[in-house]
Chain A
Amino acid sequence: MKTIIAEHLIKTYDKGAVRALDDLSLDVTEGTVLSVLGPNGAGKTTTVRILATLLKPDSGNAQVAGIDVIKHPDKVRELIGLSGQYAAVDETLTGWDNLVMFGRLYHLGKQQSINRANELLERFSLTESARRPIKTYSGGMRRRLDLAASLIVQPKVLFLDEPTTGLDPRGRMEMWGVIEELVKGGVTLLLTTQYLEEADQLADEIAVIDRGIVIARGTSDLLKRQVGGERLEVTVENHQLAETTQIIEKISGQSAQIDAALRKISAPVSTGSTALIEALRALDEVGIHPLDIGLKRPSLDDVFLSLTGHVAEEAVAEPVKKKRRAKK
């Protein structure tokens, strides 16, 4: 059963000048995790905002748990949890204040709101900081509290919009642990991210989006195979570029990409560290000692390059302020 369905969503801003979503469709099977992967401005946040009833599309349909998002936003709001890019909590209040307040706004009774707040604080290891204002929290703690706030009524469907953007590695690992726990509990999760690694770690399925449309979809293995898996990257002196390229292409069996400015040659390989050793030996035989050599796992940039032929751009950034002003 599909718990989240989006069909042919179109959303423009500034009277059509910016096409945030350009016929975007996706769906998520009950109890699974879909990661929407894409660069800034690809339409990730717009998609989440539409599905979470915060934004109306210009056209298209969306359903959450069988309920039409556009026609019955109130009913959808009772079922979903949303945690955004920015911790959407009151910074001057304490963590406890916030959770109790949100509990009341979900119309839990006073005592129930308090109990639920204590439970969630405990679960997200925030009990010690419960009575401190949020503004004293670290980035990771804020996100955890924000996530806790979206779980007050144990939502069937959860939307997490870039839950780890801006977190340090430790905060990111903690967040991943928390999200993995949630998924075990059977929630249907739609998660957006800029990091392939994150999608890899958390998602059952990945939808890659660019310029408002899904350009690829499948499991992380499938996508990586499309990208070509690992690449061998070598940096050498200028005069060694041509010779090195030949050697690398021979090992790879495919044509190499050459970045003359960075004096870097890269090519896809399928044999992992064996290819690395081969390359080092072959280069050593001709007396080339690379400045740098290594195996690179595919990054989001690679996925993009491979799928769209262009590098992920930051330029089409979603104008947050303008978005809010948009009326429809």
Chain B
Amino acid sequence: MKYVLSDSFVITKRQILQLARIPELLIFSTIQPVMFVLLFRFVFGGSISTDQPGGYVQLLMPGIFVQTVAFTLAATASGLAEDMKKGLIDRFRSLPISRGALVIGRTFGDALLNILVLVVMAIAGVAVGWRPTSGFMRISLGFLFLFAFGYALSWIGIYVGLVVQDARVVQNVGFLVTFPMTFLSNAFAPTTGMPKALQYVAEWNPVSSMVAACRQLFGLKNKFGATATSWPSQHPLATSLLYMIVLMAIFVPLSIRKYANTSS
């Protein structure tokens, strides 16, 4: 047990080395979110009218931040599935390393990548007019929330990767989970335009809570639809935190047990 962390760091370091050996990976995983910022800002930004001071981009950026960290789920899952496919996992499992180090190390690696991606996106956001107004401390707290949310989701990714095991299928499953999750929310458009039933779904969607929490932390007022009196709408920070804790409490032990039992 005393080696859990050091073993995990070795695995994380492996991921960093991979990025160094294939710089394209790093370039494309940062270009994609930047592309989203530009597309949404200039394609939708003009047609979505809002009385938000500073314009749509103020509302948009928290949404895109959350969407991007939510994609960590797919990245983690396919990265792990890739390892499973190559038989590399057998080598790791035949080594006297601590249980779970391989998956813990991967979540660390993906978290590190998220930091970089968030920084690049923030710069792109500022370049297209995003101006958070809440002061350094609250903005930092916002990013901490985003980082933590990505980390929690990457544990779902671990579980998906272990269960599905085929990198191509994992890609599809990842998108199948993250796309509805991010679009069936308040991230890009107000939920008031949705059918009533969907408004409730959107309101309880962890992504909505996260977006609302980030908007709050970045100094925006949240506007709600039909479900404005619901608990998650009233307490987005607490709801987000709760979601993260619950997700981790479920998926960390589940994934580590699944990993220990996989192919044995």
Contacts A82-B91, A89-B88: A105 and B261 contacting too (C-beta < 8 A)? no
CB distance from A13 to the nearest CB of B (A): 11
B97 CB contacts on chain A under 8 angstroms: 105
CB distance from B9 to the nearest CB of A (A): 9
**How many Å lie between the Cα of A269 and that of B59 in the bound state?**
88
Q: Interface segment, A179-187, A273-281, A296-304, A318-326? A: A318-326
Q: Is the CB of A55 within 8 A of B264?
A: yes
Size class of the contact patch on chain A? 35 or more
**How many Å lie between the Cα of A82 and that of B7 in the bound state?**
19
Contacts A86-B86, A88-B90: A105 and B10 contacting too (C-beta < 8 A)? yes
**How many Å lie between the Cα of A66 and that of B21 in the bound state?**
42
B88 CB contacts on chain A under 8 angstroms: 88-90
B17 at the interface (CB under 8 A from A): yes
A117 at the interface (CB under 8 A from B): no
Q: Is the CB of B165 within 8 A of A106?
A: no
B91 CB contacts on chain A under 8 angstroms: 82, 84, 88-89, 102, 149-150
B92 CB contacts on chain A under 8 angstroms: 105
A8 at the interface (CB under 8 A from B): no
> Which residue on chain B has the smallest CB distance to residue A86?
B87
Q: Is the CB of B87 within 8 A of A94?
A: no
B264 CB contacts on chain A under 8 angstroms: 53-56, 328
B22 CB contacts on chain A under 8 angstroms: 92
Interface size on B, residues (CB 8 A): 30
Q: Is the CB of A105 within 8 A of B18?
A: no
B89 CB contacts on chain A under 8 angstroms: 88
CB distance from B245 to the nearest CB of A (A): 29
**How many Å lie between the Cα of A325 and that of B93 in the bound state?**
15
A88 CB contacts on chain B under 8 angstroms: 86-91
B14 at the interface (CB under 8 A from A): yes
**How many Å lie between the Cα of A91 and that of B96 in the bound state?**
22
Contact flags (1/0) for B76-89 with A, using CB distance below 8 Å?
00000000101111
Contact flags (1/0) for A67-87 with B, using CB distance below 8 Å?
000000010011010101111
Q: Is the CB of A82 within 8 A of B94?
A: yes
CB distance from B15 to the nearest CB of A (A): 10
Contacts A54-B90, A80-B94, A88-B86: A324 and B10 contacting too (C-beta < 8 A)? no
Q: Is the CB of B96 within 8 A of A74?
A: yes
Q: Is the CB of A101 within 8 A of B94?
A: no
**How many Å lie between the Cα of A190 and that of B175 in the bound state?**
44
A326 CB contacts on chain B under 8 angstroms: 263
**How many Å lie between the Cα of A104 and that of B91 in the bound state?**
14
**How many Å lie between the Cα of A84 and that of B90 in the bound state?**
8
CB distance from A316 to the nearest CB of B (A): 20
> Which residue on chain B has the smallest CB distance to residue A93?
B17
A90 CB contacts on chain B under 8 angstroms: 14, 18, 88
Contacts A77-B94, A106-B95, A149-B91: A91 and B86 contacting too (C-beta < 8 A)? yes
**How many Å lie between the Cα of A82 and that of B13 in the bound state?**
23
Q: Contact partner of A55 among B3, B14, B263, CB < 8 A?
A: B263
A93 CB contacts on chain B under 8 angstroms: 14, 17-18, 21
Q: Is the CB of A52 within 8 A of B263?
A: no
A133 at the interface (CB under 8 A from B): yes
**How many Å lie between the Cα of A328 and that of B260 in the bound state?**
11
B13 CB contacts on chain A under 8 angstroms: 101
A327 CB contacts on chain B under 8 angstroms: 261
A323 CB contacts on chain B under 8 angstroms: 263
A53 CB contacts on chain B under 8 angstroms: 93-94, 264
> Which residue on chain B has the smallest CB distance to residue A152?
B95
B262 at the interface (CB under 8 A from A): yes
> Which residue on chain B has the smallest CB distance to residue A91?
B86
B94 CB contacts on chain A under 8 angstroms: 52-54, 77, 80, 82
- Residue pairs across A and B with Cβ atoms less than 8 A apart, 28 shown, are A49-B90, A54-B90, A54-B94, A54-B264, A55-B264, A77-B96, A78-B96, A82-B90, A82-B94, A89-B88, A90-B88, A92-B21, A92-B22, A93-B17, A97-B14, A101-B10, A101-B14, A102-B91, A104-B6, A105-B7, A105-B10, A105-B92, A105-B101, A106-B96, A107-B3, A107-B6, A325-B263, A328-B264
Given contact pairs A52-B94, A105-B92, A324-B263, enumerate 17 new A-B contacts (beta carbons under 8 Å): A55-B263, A82-B90, A84-B90, A84-B91, A90-B18, A90-B88, A93-B21, A102-B95, A105-B7, A105-B10, A105-B95, A105-B101, A106-B96, A107-B3, A149-B91, A325-B165, A328-B264
